[in-house]
Structure 1
Amino acid sequence: MLPKGIRSRIVRGVGDLDMHILEAGFGRGCPAILLLHGFPELAWCWRRLMPILASAGYHVIAPDQRGYGRTTPQPGDYLTDLEPYATGNLANDVFNLIEALDLSSVEAIVGHDAGSIVAGFCALARPGLMRHLVLAASPFAGAPPQGAPLDAPFIFHPVHAELARLNTPRKHYQAYYVGPSANEDMRHSPQGLHSFLRGYFYQKSADWNGNAPHQLAGWSGAELARMPHYYCMPARHDMAEVAAAAMPDARAIAACAWLSEHDLSIAAAEFARTGFQPALNWYRSALVEGMTGRDLIPFQGRRLDIPVAFVAGSADWGPYQAPGLLETMRDRLATRPVSLHVIDGAGHWVHQEQPERFADILFATLNARLAGNRLCCK
């Protein structure tokens, strides 16, 4: 069922994991590109981009990251040790995979959504391991300034109380994801897991006409409530209800060229088997325990000295969901400004919705043709 030129295999002994990867262009000596997925995705979600990169002469590697897909073990309990899901340890998984594949370095690491945070952390922690960094959908601010105090975990941010006091009370999706009911709500949604994922992917794509992202004025409940419900939910609703409220009709599903029913069924089957809790533990480690901030402390003041690009779809709220984060990433992550790129006709799943245009930007980054701080619309 894999696209032509892509193979699946298990790499055993990747630290404490047996890691499932997809590969394309796997001849010896090809420069390697590592692709890190986000939530709720898998290595499978890079299937449309991988052949394009392989045809250009790259060895393309996409793992199921810890807690996802066929990478094992997957402790799935809500009340479990969260240290394995800390950002520093997720980066160690990447380093261990690179070593297990007998690679001394990679041409680029590309991270999407939560994978963007892991990719950025890898670049800070191991300078010289990669020659380029490409982040997608979710900005990564990088290391804190020298001497900066450690921020409190996001779950304690006062904006949550502001959202609850609105005339129509709301709750932030991340506050929902760290709670004990999120896994069961989504895994056993009334509409079925396949339909839940269809509605979820649809709402965050350019196919849904409810996305008109823009910068928010600041961290207030009223400002965050401008975002769609999949980011800022009605307080009484769960994510299954949010997805059901904007479910595409049969005609829209049939017309979705970037996510066929067959392709979606593969992702749905994996999450039906594993549940979402191992993946949601990424959120719990960062947002409840503050492990990402803790793991960044040793790199205070460090900036990247490699080309960095950020790519997002024009219909994606991801770059704006945390006010000020996009600008901080642009100006502070690297020694030169991060190049910002927006692709028309794509939402949050930019690498799936517009893989050819995504590849164009990636190739330009690898060929060092990007001018810093440039917005390039295609």
Structure 2
Amino acid sequence: MTSTDFPEPTLVPVNGVELEVFEAGRENAGKPIVLCHGWPEHAFSWRHQMPALAAAGYHVIAPNQRGYGRSSRPAEVTDYDIAHLSGDLVALLDHYGYEDATFVGHDWGAFVVWGLTLLHPDRVNKVINLSLPYQERGEKPWIEFMEAVLGGDFYFVHFNRQPGVADAVFDDNTYRFLRNLYRKNEPPAEPRPGMALINLAGAEAPGGEPVMSDSELAVLVSAFETSGFTGSINWYRNLDRNWHLLADADPIIHQPTLMIYGDRDLVARSENLAAFVPNVEVVSLDCGHWIQQEEPEETNRVITQWLEHQDGPSRRTG
């Protein structure tokens, strides 16, 4: 699927906002799978998966989540906490008349899917997450912990402690930032002082190889030139709030789960994933962070085979 034949979106009212939603396989109504993008991404990041999942018999629903694309961008930072983000997905199921669905998340989308599954377990029948494993809720709120361990220049901490600074840099350098970020096979480089992503937005030349074509990159650049970055970065500004909101949830993910890692992804793997996600199957692919875009065919194969195995011969369609 290319940028020219990506589905036309519809604006769906949910949970007090509107989400820009892309669909495939509407003829497969009754078998929903919801794809949740990461940062700084777009539903377009699932362009390779949507046709494959529709062909496998699924009604594929890929929203631009709040803060992204043409979806609503509320002004209040707290409107981007896990209660709101998971509430949007629950309301999206209600809109389509679905009791539950399989949820797929990459990066921040994975965090939302983990949180949704803890807060609304009856609405999630299976979990497929890429890159970001389950995040154990330790004794300290997450940003506080990261600040102590990784320092104030770590981007999660910087986004929280210096609100608006990074947003402005990304807004002023949207094309260069996204071009320089969406790379693979990057040679190792010495860490530089300062906030790494702000440095990246100012770098003249990218490293490695592009993850996507110029026309594909243009879809993301256009979306962020329209929306700006603040809404999406506000997700980071709720991490400590999310830590509090998840305090009373059963911390165990009981649903069948597929966790896909990239061997060269810089996001840390979980050392005790099965303790919190007992029904997990783990797969590693030979790629970096942008898993489903770097290895689309392999990602599709792993996901569809796992789903087929989960559904079993009695429930298989086609």
TM-score by length of 1: 0.74
What's the counterpart of residue 51 of structure 2?
A: 51
Confirm whether residue 305 of structure 1 aligns to residue 254 of structure 2.
yes
TM-aligned CA distance change 1:4 to 1:347, over 3 Å? same
Task: Give matches, 1:1-378, under 5 Å.
Answer: 2=3, 4=5, 6-11=7-12, 13-72=13-72, 74-75=73-74, 81-106=76-101, 108-141=102-135, 144=137, 151-155=140-144, 157-160=147-150, 163=151, 171-178=153-160, 179-180=162-163, 181-189=165-173, 193-202=174-183, 205=184, 207-210=185-188, 229=191, 234-237=192-195, 239-245=197-203, 247-248=205-206, 256=210, 258-286=211-239, 290-300=240-250, 302-320=251-269, 326-328=270-272, 330-336=273-279, 338-344=280-286, 346-368=287-309
TM-aligned CA distance change 1:240 to 1:55, over 3 Å? same
CA displacement at 1:49 relative to structure 2: 1.4
Distance 2:266 2:6 in 1: 33
CA displacement at 1:315 relative to structure 2: 1.4
Distance 2:40 2:303 in 1: 23
Secondary structure of the corresponding residue to residue 299 of structure 1: coil
TM-aligned CA distance change 1:141 to 1:159, over 3 Å? closer
CA displacement at 1:6 relative to structure 2: 2.7
5+ unaligned residues in a row in structure 2: which ranges?
312-318
CA displacement at 1:75 relative to structure 2: 3.3
Secondary structure of the corresponding residue to residue 235 of structure 2: helix
Show CA shifts across 1:168-222 (max 9, x none): xxx2121222223000111113xxx2122110111xx3x32339xxxxxxxxxxx
The code of the aligned residue for 2:95 comes to A
Distance 1:263 1:85 in 2: 27
The code of the aligned residue for 1:353 comes to E
Percent same amino acid at aligned positions? 26
Q: Which runs of 4+ in 1 moved over 6 A?
A: none
TM-score by length of 2: 0.87
TM-aligned CA distance change 1:312 to 1:126, over 3 Å? same
Distance 1:33 1:90 in 2: 17
Secondary structure of the corresponding residue to residue 182 of structure 2: helix
TM-aligned CA distance change 1:241 to 1:127, over 3 Å? closer
Larger relative helix fraction: 2
Distance 2:257 2:197 in 1: 33
Secondary structure of the corresponding residue to residue 273 of structure 1: helix
The code of the aligned residue for 2:114 comes to G
Distance 2:88 2:302 in 1: 27
CA displacement at 1:295 relative to structure 2: 1.3
Distance 1:278 1:260 in 2: 26
5+ unaligned residues in a row in structure 1: which ranges?
165-170, 212-227, 321-325, 371-378
Secondary structure of the corresponding residue to residue 45 of structure 2: helix
RMSD: 2.5
